[in-house]
Homo-oligomer: A and B are copies of this chain.
Amino acid sequence: MSDQYSEQAKIFKALCDEKRLRILELLRSGEKCACVLVEILGMPQSSLAYHMKVLCDSGIVDCRQEGKWTHYRISRDGSRHAETLLRSVTTPVQALGSEDTFTCTKQC
C-alpha cells in the first residue's frame, strides 16, 4: 500500500539531486565509464559510486561491466517508465473512490 508510494518515490528521488542531473546530462551523449565521469565531474570516486547506485536502483540508468571497468548509460525502458509514472501521478481521473465523496465538516 504505502510501498507503492515508496517505489514511485525512489524513481523521482533519482532525479531530484543536482549532481545526478549533471551525470544524466553527460550520459545523454552516450555510455560513459565511471572513471571518465569522476574526471569530468571532479568528484571523489566514492561519491560518484553513491550517485550511480541511486540512478541504477531507480532503473533510469543501466550499467555494464567490462573487465574492471563499469560503463553507465541511460536506460530507455527505465526512462519511459519514469515518464509514464510522472504522467500517471499528475493526470486527472473521473473515477470516484470513497475519499472523493468525502464531505468536510466545514463549509468549504
Which of A's residues lie within 8 Å of B, judged by CB? 2, 5-6, 8-9, 12-13, 15-18, 21-22, 24-26, 28-30, 33, 35-36, 39-40, 60, 66, 69, 71, 74, 79, 82-83, 86-87, 89-97, 99-100, 102, 104-106, 108
Contact = CB atoms under 8 A, between A and B. Distances in A.
A54 B8 CA distance: 17
A39 B92 CA distance: 21
The 6 closest A-B pairs by CB, nearest first: A79-B90, A5-B18, A12-B16, A33-B108, A12-B15, A13-B16
A51 to B, nearest CB: 13
Classify the secondary structure of A's interface with B: helix
Contact of A17 (B9, B28, B30): B9
